[in-house]
A and B are shown apart, each in its own frame.
Chain A
């Protein structure tokens, strides 16, 4: 089905996560195995609290799994690493640095000279279309621009995997659509391996080469789909019959889970 190479860039092996202890403990993730194929754009969708972000945080190295392990290129992940770039939803930019300094932070931290880091920053700032805003500070930018900075900053280290935790969730619909098109272009250009978390079914179908639907807490894999729209350059794919059909499928799956999640909430 997929036209992309299928070697696993990263692999979750029997990964589970339990927060807290005793009676207050919460099982966020059931033991779960999942491959992130090289050059894949994998979208995780699922109801709130299903452990999607936990999964991403474990691969990022911010959290350790309760059981199982995560491998990248066959090597266990033990902590954060510049080979895995992370883009957050919001609030992660360095507010005391301007755009250029934010983007140059990674190259500087990984040992590049100031001149080299500045050159890299200029390149990625151009890629996300913020050249005229390079000397501005994050608080002078709109939410969409701030997310572009976050993306450029993560790309500046030339990571092998990009981890994106609902990067567009706080943006308005129009900005979000434009940025989705831009992310698609950047992915088609760079072919980074991406793990992307979203609530939006359309976003997942539009961007992903693989969509993994997760169940309500404790998180399990409920379904895997391999949409083909990521390779298209046409924003109008979203109106194709195939797109609409898959959207309805995922919608159905998520609805069951959302109802289950709601029941859990009320039971507490």
Chain B
């Protein structure tokens, strides 16, 4: 019980330290850009003050950017990411599970996945634009290509990492192959799958931004890139912060789902 309490105390302390470090960064930003001591240290062109950025944010919410509302830019970005993520998830995870269960399937699918895994997928974007044009398809494909190896290989490794004793126990209890997969191997693989989901959210957002920097007319990264052409530093920073927030919130959601679904993860019993 005391161990539980001390972890709680440690968690509380960590939260205060997190908050403190965040406030310190904000304070530094403020000090670098304030005019209180006779002119800002850094010119607003390079780094506008937090207040100016907040102002810009409110203006963007009210007026939108280049004829489209801010919500639209955020929405289209989330749509691209969400669609690519869900499509990849529902293909890659079952395929990975299958590879983990079946040596022949692994022998067939492992080489193409392993060979293309180290390739930086963003390098394929010019080719994808020739193939699919500059619409939504090329963006979704590039994100899917980046996430596919992570999700499929992790699912495969999660299956192969399931304790032999748990499978033997299920066999001795009279479970069929399907029951063993459904009630033992699949749930036992979930913690590994969730870890890869969280990794792929980070990577997916990165790929989204990469794809939106090139040849689009909407999206939150497009907004930042296009504002940069006009030296609208305020807008660029709003865009960057929104992208950071999106990444952070998506991870938060994934972690909440993970804690709910695999509350037993990492705890042996």
CB-based nearest B residue for A84: B172
Give Cα A141 to B268, complex, Å. Answer: 10
Tell whether B171 is near chain A: CB-to-CB under 8 Å: yes
Contact B183 A139 (CB under 8 A): no
- How many A-B residue contacts, CB cutoff 8 Å? 87
The smallest C-beta distance from A104 to any residue of chain B, in angstroms, reads 10
List residues of chain B with CB within 8 A of the CB of A110: 173-174
Tell whether A106 is near chain B: CB-to-CB under 8 Å: yes
Contact code string B165-192 (vs A, CB < 8 Å = 1, else 0): 1101111111110010001100110100
Contact A105 B183 (CB under 8 A): yes
Most buried by A among B262, B263, B269: B269
List residues of chain A with CB within 8 A of the CB of B174: 80-82, 106, 109-110, 157
Q: Which of these, A80, A88, A92, A96, contacts B262 with CB under 8 Å? A: A96
Give Cα A92 to B183, complex, Å. Answer: 14
Tell whether B260 is near chain A: CB-to-CB under 8 Å: no
Which residues from 131 to 163 on chain B have a C-beta closer than 8 Å to any C-beta of chain A? Answer: 163
Tell whether B264 is near chain A: CB-to-CB under 8 Å: yes
CB-based nearest B residue for A143: B269
Tell whether B267 is near chain A: CB-to-CB under 8 Å: yes
- A96-B188, A96-B262, A138-B269 in contact; A105/B175 too (CB < 8 A)? yes
The smallest C-beta distance from A224 to any residue of chain B, in angstroms, reads 27
The smallest C-beta distance from B133 to any residue of chain A, in angstroms, reads 45
Contact code string A95-116 (vs B, CB < 8 Å = 1, else 0): 1100000000110011000000
Contact B269 A62 (CB under 8 A): no
The smallest C-beta distance from A190 to any residue of chain B, in angstroms, reads 17
List residues of chain B with CB within 8 A of the CB of A138: 264, 269
Tell whether A227 is near chain B: CB-to-CB under 8 Å: no
Contact A62 B168 (CB under 8 A): yes
Tell whether A251 is near chain B: CB-to-CB under 8 Å: no
Q: Which of these, B163, B166, B172, B188, contacts A60 with CB under 8 Å? A: B172
List residues of chain B with CB within 8 A of the CB of A106: 173-174
- A92-B163, A92-B168, A96-B190 in contact; A153/B173 too (CB < 8 A)? yes
The smallest C-beta distance from A101 to any residue of chain B, in angstroms, reads 9
- A105-B170, A138-B269, A139-B268 in contact; A92/B165 too (CB < 8 A)? yes
* Selected A-B contacts with CB under 8 Å, 8 pairs: A79-B171, A80-B171, A85-B172, A88-B168, A92-B168, A93-B269, A110-B173, A110-B174
Question: Besides A62-B168, A105-B175, 19 other CB < 8 A contacts?
Answer: A60-B168, A61-B171, A62-B171, A80-B174, A82-B172, A82-B174, A84-B172, A85-B173, A92-B165, A92-B168, A93-B166, A94-B187, A96-B188, A96-B264, A105-B173, A110-B174, A137-B263, A137-B264, A153-B173
Q: Which 8 A-B pairs have the closest CB atoms?
A: A138-B269, A82-B174, A139-B267, A106-B173, A80-B171, A109-B175, A86-B172, A110-B174
Residue positions of A touching B, CB distance < 8 A: 60-62, 79-82, 84-86, 88, 91-96, 105-106, 109-110, 137-139, 141, 146, 153-154, 157, 163
